[in-house]
Amino acid sequence: MKYQRHKYNAIRSEADNIKFDSKKEMNYYLQLKLRVKAGEIIFFLLQTPFNLPGNVKYRVDFQEFHSDGTVHFIDVKGMETSEFRLKKKQVEALYPIKIEIV
């Protein structure tokens, strides 16, 4: 299936009938599946939402639950926009988490 190009030249991709905004995000998803098989990660969630003021939602690409008991919030970015940096700061100020950028 062919997708329209993203405004930041990301190529929309698909794996396991899941549509991703970029090949980079899809490849990270495929790596996560391997890390689950290896036992490093117990499970992971896609597109975890966070509510922000002004009825705005921010979605982190992946939420990972590691076998050591830690939880990681991952955003796969090819380019960091000023809008992303602002929302990331808001989420981290409102919630007791740290968003990791890959």
Reported as a single tens digit per residue, the pLDDT across 43-70 is 999 999 999 999 999 999 999 999 999 9
Closest CA to 51 of 81, 94, 80, 18: 94
Q: CB under 8 Å to 4, separation ≥6 — which residues?
A: 12
Q: Is the pLDDT of residue 76 over 60?
A: yes
Residue 4 pLDDT: 55
Closest CA to 102 of 69, 61, 68: 61
Radius of gyration for the chain, computed over Cα atoms and rounded to the nearest angstrom: 14
Q: Is the pLDDT of residue 19 over 90?
A: yes
